[in-house]
Amino acid sequence: MFHGIAKEESNVWEMNTSHDQTKTFIYTKKRGYDLIRNPHLNKGMAFSLEERLQLGIHGLLPPCFLSQDVQVLRVLRNYDMKKDDLDRYVCLMGLQDRNEKLFYTVLTSDIQRFMPIVYTPTVGLACQQYGLAFRRPRGLFITIHDRFHISTLLKSWPENDIRAIVVTDGERILGLGDLGCYGMGIPVGKLALYTACGGVKPHQCLPVMLDVGTNNEELLKDPLYIGLRHKRIQGQAYNDLLDEFMQAVTNRYSMNCLIQFEDFANSNAFRLLSKYRNTYCTFNDDIQGTAAVAVAGLLAALRITKNKLSDQKILFQGAGEAAMGIADLITMAMEKEGIPKDQCLTKIWMVDSKGLIVKGRDSLTEEKLRFAQNHPEMKNLEQIIKKIKPTAIIGVAAIPGAFTERIIKDMASFNERPIIFALSNPTSKAECTAEQCYRLTEGQGIFASGSPFDPVTLSDGRRLYPGQGNNAYVFPGVALGVIACGVRHITDELFLTTAETIARLVKDEDLAQGRLFPPLDNIRDVSFKLAVKIVEYAYKNNLATVNPEPENKEDLVRSHMFSNDYDQFAVDSYSWPKEAMAIQSVKL
């Protein structure tokens, strides 16, 4: 059996050479220098002698032949020589620019080691230093001045088969604020994890920066800043840019193209999600992805506390998009337990920069008003927690050290197993450390964080491994499932299914060690199982557009996954199966 998949710059042909083995051939028109400068095609010194001769690259490479395994060792040797994490980030991004398959092989060889470099917390530092770290453009930079020409800009991108886009306007990068055009590091990093953690094919991914300016005065004065040098443009011009972008994307790549919104400011994030969610295939990771991973952590924690979600009283430090997203998904999960929505809302308390969110307080947004409680106004977080006595506190306001020693000890005084989630990123913005939580609660605290923390050894000899509430457990698997079955509109129920699936994948031995999430080493398997669950959910609820419905959902998902293994080039006509020759004679 033979079939081919056409790409923009090459054709990939797969031939079943036996009942259980598939041989992959690549044909490309590129030759010589152009080929080895192309990260999608380059294999470095893994090219065979025949390939080198026929592709015109013999002499452009050293005469040595190295397997991919040896190339990985070479990369790791260079990586270990770097003096700090920013240098390591630049090293890995340089590899991605040279040899895509080797880059993903390195990442997946030890995902727990490399994820903090390509994602939080190092990606935050990389964004702050993006003017220095920038080497080669990855993705599209679309500015406010490109109105009426976005469809033309999209044609500049060399790939036609784009299935997933991550887009930001750089206004709220992690907990670091407005980084303008430097925020491009976030879409690049997110999509690297689409492939490394979820197996989404990298040539189907596109990072996008919508540059509308920046209000960061330091950047505007920086001669190395690479973005527009004016204040942010908002209002109708901003809205028109977003409308044109969404329409241009779907016109070029179809209505099935997934568009993930990332690190938009609160003022835009909620309204854009509400505006586009029922028209396009889109979601906001800061609202819905963070919600799914946080609720997954809470559901796993319930296996320790031995009660239900509706038994909890949850207090948020922060009332932005992350807090609102988590609170909405918690409410949905409580309703699933049979609790009326009005009663669910009484179990969620929020604190913003002005104090406890209560009814009658001035200047409450529509989102905050939904969670306002009947209670006197209070401003001090320590006093609020002592008064409310929550069973769980969740930090999402990027205020480092907000969970003080007094707060942690108080949580332990009125809860046998207090739930303490310090979810703000990067590490420097965490509300408390894992060690503070475990030591001040004498090991009884149930802890999760947004950025990674080292294991903690207690005085009694117990060693606890803090759970990282990393959105990478969510968005790669969600994207893979959505792409596989052609979901057009992503519902909140899909994210609740995601949270429940992740929580079920946490083993009892993980919980015993302090983990509320599966080990990061297993994240590729977690993403695969999550994608399969999403495909099942989509077909059951008439959300899928790929027909007919496949009997084997796992095979469907696998067919969309990227392989890190090098392919073999079909270097001349004698290497081609007869069917390929017939097709090529027509195509070329």
Active-site residue set: 119, 190
CB-based contacts of 392: which residues, under 8 Å, 6+ apart?
298, 301, 312, 313, 314, 315, 418, 419, 420, 421
Take residue 73 and report the two structure tokens written for it: 């060792």
Q: Are strands 140-143 and 282-284 parallel, antiparallel or unpaired?
A: unpaired
Which residues, 6+ apart, have CB-to-CB distance to 472 below 8 Å?
115, 119, 193, 197, 523
Is residue 497 within 8 Å of 487, Cβ to Cβ? no
The DSSP secondary-structure symbol of 338 reads: T
CA 565, chain centre distance (Å): 23
Residue with tokens 């919508």: 210
Q: Which region, left, alpha or beta, applies to residue 503 given φ > 0 means left and ψ of -120 to 50 means alpha?
A: alpha
Q: 156 with 141: CB under 8 angstroms?
A: no
Q: Give CA–CA dist 54/32, Å, rounded.
A: 9
Q: Which residues of 534-552 are buried (b: 16+ CB within 10 A; e: fewer)?
A: bbbbbbeeebbebeeebee
The DSSP code for 562 is P
Angle in degrees, 0-180, between the axes of helices 321-336 and 266-276, rounded to the nearest 10:
50
- In 3D, which of 541, 517, 510 has the Cα closest to residue 467? 517
The C-alpha atoms of residue 26 and residue 255 are separated, in whole angstroms, by 29
115-129: burial string, b at 16+ Cβ within 10 Å, e else: bbbbbbbbbbbbbbb
d(C-alpha 284, C-alpha 298), whole Å? 21
As a whole number of angstroms, the distance between CA 291 and CA 498 comes to 10
Interacting residues of 405 by C-beta distance below 8 A, sequence separation 6+: 436, 440
Tell me which residue has tokens 């973005």: 227
Main-chain dihedrals φ then ψ at residue 329, nearest 5 degrees: -70, -35
Question: 206-215 burial string, b = 16+ CB within 10 Å, else e?
Answer: bbbbbbbbbe
Q: What H or E segment, with its residue span, contains residue 334?
A: helix 321-336
- Using a 10 angstrom Cβ sphere, with 0-12 exposed, 13-18 middle and 19 or more buried, the burial of residue 108 is middle
Distance of CA 174 to the CA centre of its chain: 12
